[in-house]
Structure 1
Amino acid sequence: MILLGILTAIGSVSIDMYLPAFPAIQQGLHTTTGQVQLTLTAFFVGMLSGQLLYGPLSDRFGRRPPLIGGLIIYIIGSVGCTLAQSIEALMFWRLIQALGACSGIVLARAIVRDRCDPREAARSFSTLMLIMGVSPILAPLLGGYILQVSDWRVVFGLNVLFGIGCLIATVTMLRESHTPRADASLGLGPVFSSFATVLRDRDFTVHAISGGLAQAGLYTYLAGSPFVLIELFHLSPSAYGWVFCANSVGLIVASQVNSALLKGSDIHTMLRRGLLGVIAGAALLIVAGLSGVAVLPLLLAGIFVFMTCLGFVNPNAAAASLANHPERAGTASALMGTLQYGLATLATFAMGVVHDGTARPFAFGMAACGLAAWLVLRTLGIRHTAPLQTATATS
Structure 2
Amino acid sequence: MRIQPTSFAFTLLLGFLAAVPYSGIDINLPALAATGATLGASPSDVGLTMSAFMLSLAVAPLLYGPISDRIGRKPVVMAGVALFAIASLACAAADSLWMLLICRFVQGGGAASTTMTFAIIRDLFDETIARAKIASVVIAVNVVTVVAPSAGAALLAVGSWRLIYLTQAAAGSVLLLAVLLGFAETAKIAAAGRLRPSAVIADYRRVLTNPAALAFILVGAAGGATVFAYVTGSSLFFIGVVGLRPDQYGLIFSACSAAVMCGAFIDSRLGRRGIAPTTVLTIGLVLLFTVASALLAMTLAHWTPPALLAALLMAVALAFGLSMPNIMNATMQPLPDIAGAVGAAAGSIQMTSGAIASGLVATLFDGRSALSMTAVMAAASLLALLLYLLFARPAVRRLHPAPALTPAQ
Decide whether aligned partners of structure 1 residues 256 and 43 sit closer, same or farther in structure 2, where only a CA change above 3 A counts.
same
1:51-200 to 2 correspondence within 5 Å?
51-105=61-115, 107-200=116-209
Q: 1:267 aligns with which of 273, 277, 283?
A: 277
Q: Compared with structure 1, are the counterparts of its residues 305 and 29 closer, same or farther at alpha carbon in structure 2 (3 Å cutoff)?
A: farther
Instruction: Give TM-score, length-normalised by structure 1.
Output: 0.89
Aligned 8 A contact 1:59 1:330 in 2: yes
Unaligned runs of 5+ in 2: 1-10, 402-409
8 Å Cα contact 1:281-1:302 kept in structure 2: yes
Change (3 A) 1:32 1:299: farther
**CA shift at 1:17, angstroms?**
1.8
The aligned residue for residue 5 of structure 2 is none
Q: Indicate if the aligned counterparts of 1:47 and 1:98 stay in contact, CA closer than 8 A.
A: yes
Q: Say whether the 8 Å CA contact 1:281–1:304 is kept in structure 2.
A: no
2:56 is matched with which residue?
46
Stretch of structure 1 that moved more, 4-13 or 378-387: 378-387
- Aligned counterpart in structure 2 of residue 297 of structure 1, from 299, 307, 326: 307
Deviations 1:166-218 (A, max 9, x none): 11111111111124333222111111111111211111111111111111222
Instruction: State the distance in 2 between where 1:213 and 1:383 align.
Output: 18
SS of corresponding position for 2:338:
helix
C-alpha distance in structure 2 between counterparts of 1:187 and 1:86, whole Å: 38
* 1:377 partnered with 2:388: yes
Distance in 2, Cα, partners of 1:231 & 1:212: 28
Query: Does the residue aligned with 1:286 lie in a helix, a strand or coil?
Result: helix
Which residue is 1:393 aligned to? Answer: none
8 Å contact from structure 1 (residues 217, 365) kept in 2: yes
Aligned residues: 389
Q: Does the aligned pair in 1 maintain the 2:41–2:97 contact within 8 Å? A: yes
Checking the alignment, whether the CA contact within 8 Å between 2:240 and 2:367 is kept in structure 1 is no
What is the aligned counterpart of 2:375 among 359, 364, 383?
A: 364
Q: Please say if residues 71 and 100 of structure 1, whose CA atoms lie closer than 8 Å, have aligned partners that are also in contact.
A: yes
In the TM superposition, 1:181-220 aligns within 5 A as 181-220=190-229
Which deviates more from structure 2 when the two are superposed, residues 262-271 or residues 332-341?
A: 262-271
The answer (yes or no) to whether the contact 1:285–1:298 under 8 Å persists in 2 is no
Q: Which amino acid aligns with 1:366?
A: M
Give the number of the structure whose alpha-carbon radius of gyration is greater: 2
- Structure 1: where are the runs of 5+ without partners? 391-395
Equivalent position of 1:6 in the other structure:
16
C-alpha displacement at 1:19, in angstroms?
Answer: 2.8
The residue identity in structure 2 corresponding to 1:363 is T
Asked if structure 2 preserves the Cα contact closer than 8 Å seen for 1:325 and 1:332, the reply is yes
Q: What value does the CA root-mean-square deviation take over the aligned residues?
A: 2.6
- Going from structure 1 to structure 2, the CA distance change for 1:95 and 1:224 (only over 3 Å counts) comes to farther
With the length of structure 2 as denominator, give the TM-score of the two structures: 0.86
Q: Distance in 1 between matches of 2:133 and 2:281?
A: 15
